Amino acid sequence: MKLSHQFLALLVVFIWGTNFVFIRLGLDELAPFTFATLRFALVAFPLMLFIPKPAVEWKYLVSYGVFIGFGQFGLLFWAMQANITPGLASLIVQMQVFFTILLAYFITKEAVSSRQLFALSLCFIGLMFILVFNDGKTTAMGVTVVLLAALSWACGNLVVKKAEAKNVLAFIIWSSLFAIPPLFLIAMISEGSDQFVQGVTQASWQAWGVVLWQSVGNTLIGYGLWNFLLNRYSAVMVVPWALLVPVFGMSASAFMLGESMPWWKLVAMAMILAGLTINLTRSQTKQKTGAN
């Protein structure tokens, strides 16, 4: 991976990691599925009126919108409302790394080296370390739902690889259109029309600022750059970068929300960084060898 693209990957995971703090702030005023519906509505409109549909099949737009919109963020927002802390959510959702690599191996037959398996195993141990030393504020339901969100994210990654969209921005915008119906339907069923209308009409400027950042910063910029990288490199090379998300997520949550950062969280983050470094070193060596 080129150095400039590594910086892009680092920017994405920084945006995604610190974003968990903003999600928590948004959930203080907005119900989870109402929040998610507004997020993707602002991604789709009005930009889709000016940006043509990308040259990909409709099935890719529909499936990506459902996997990322409802599957990843709808479920994540619901879990974060009362069942998991922002820092721990930022960690557990990174199980998408392992889900993506396993799906890529079984579905698209992407090769996985023994060195990469060792690196991912080291990261996995870091993830398990934090799960063992639970902070006492997370429920089993919260963990389960975030794991489902992680699986949905992994499925979205595979859709991006399969679609091979040339215009990444258009792909994000048009796929967001298909995230809205399931999110809105669940919002009506679980939260009710009164709560939805109240959230839209009575939300503060801070809440709307968070929704706007979710739409522009996290989705258009973050996922736009992420999908750009997925289109240029293998999933095995790109996806492990997301293991840095909980490092930024837990740090931001500790600094801005006062979430505790005991020694075991620091050790787990160190293990994740070590695994990522091993994987990136292998990827760079392979790229240089192939260029000779």
How far apart are alpha carbons 273 and 242 in whole angstroms?
Answer: 11
Mean pLDDT, residues 241-253 taken together: 86
pTM of the model: 0.85
pLDDT above 60: residue 242: yes
3-state secondary structure at position 160: helix
- E strands, the chain, are none
Cα 103 from Cα 182, distance rounded (Å): 24
User: Could you check whether the bond before residue 46 is cis, i.e. omega within 30 degrees of 0?
Assistant: yes
**For the segment 183-240, what is each residue's pLDDT rounded down to a tens digit?**
999 999 999 999 999 988 999 999 999 999 999 999 999 989 998 998 888 877 887 7
What number is the average pLDDT over the span 129-144? 79
CB-based contact 86:49 (threshold 8 Å): no
Q: What are the pLDDT digits (tens) for 255-292?
A: 998 888 888 878 888 888 788 778 766 555 555 545 44
260 vs 151: which has the higher pLDDT: 151
pLDDT more than 70, % of the chain: 95
**Four-residue CA torsion sign, 66, 69, 70, 76:** positive
The answer to whether 16 and 218 have CB atoms below 8 angstroms apart is yes
pLDDT at 243 over 50: yes
Q: How far is CA 196 from CA 45, 183, 191, in A?
A: 19, 12, 7
Mean pLDDT estimate for the chain: 88
Q: What percent of the chain has pLDDT over 90?
A: 50
CA Rg, the chain, in Å? 18
- List Cβ neighbours of 81 (8 Å cut-off, separation of 6 or more): 27, 31, 32
